[in-house]
Structure 1
Amino acid sequence: MSDPDLDSKLTELERKIEAAKTARDVTKAHQEEHYSQAQLAWRMVTEMVAGLGIGFGIGYGLDVLFGTTPFLMVLFTLLGIAAGINVMLRSAAEIQKAQEARQKGNEGDADGE
């Protein structure tokens, strides 16, 4: 009842569709990884700039309030930089732990197969 030529064409079409889906999934995973790395980089930059800006703002405000022109501004700017670096280092450690856990999970999957 069924034509062998049609069956072979149908099988070939299903194979091509499956290959296209697999290629799309691999490309999508790579793009998500790329964007996540960019997001992490921007997060760290934002944390550093925020620490610097907040420190500068507090120091400038206290200088205006107390009349000590550059002293507190410089002091709080340096403290803001230190706080920004501290937050960046904590973020980097958090990211590293997540990547190590992901690698261990991938190794466990490879060993199980």
Structure 2
Amino acid sequence: MADPTKRSDENGREPSSSDDANLSARLRSLDARIDRASAHHEVKESSARPTSDSSALGQAFRLSAEFVSGVAAGGIVGWLVDRLFGTSPWGLIICLILGFCAGMLNLMRAAGMLKSARHDEKR
């Protein structure tokens, strides 16, 4: 029976010291490549993270401010229209509805659900 502690290749010959040296060199080369790749991956991950990465609470405050500011601006403009032209309460109602729509549009843009408004591009 064959000795299980002895190694042999598929041709049945015993490995030489040059085979062990080649294997050790390949192993060191592989270790070096893995180390370089993992270091490159860590650097890439840290640089890929956006600098404006805000927390969930900060994002919630931003989104709520986008919506509330649209409604408040509509209410203020409506109140001014009613005072100037004496159209109470229609100016306030219409401008609040427009402010609500503008707030929703700003909210969706800030959340990334819609693309930002762009100027007409020449093609």
- TM-score, normalised relative to structure 1: 0.51
- Divergent runs of 4+, >6 A: none
Q: 2:111 aligns with which of 82, 89, 92?
A: 92
The aligned counterpart of 1:37 is 56
Are residues 1:57 and 2:79 paired?
no
Give 2:72's aligned amino acid. G
User: Percent identity at matched positions?
Assistant: 33
Give 2:76's aligned amino acid. G
Q: 1:80 aligns with which of 68, 76, 99?
A: 99
Bigger fraction of residues in helix: 1
Structure 1 residues 22-50: Cα deviation after superposition (integer angstroms, max 9, x where no partner) = xxxxxxxxxxx7x6111111001011111
- TM-score, normalised relative to structure 2: 0.47
Q: Highest CA radius of gyration, 1 or 2?
A: 2
**Structure 2: which 5+ runs fail to align?**
1-52, 114-123
Matched position secondary structure for 1:69: coil
Give 1:86's aligned amino acid. L
The aligned counterpart of 1:11 is none
Shift of 1:72: 0.8
**Structure 1: which 5+ runs fail to align?**
1-32, 95-113
Shift of 1:65: 0.3
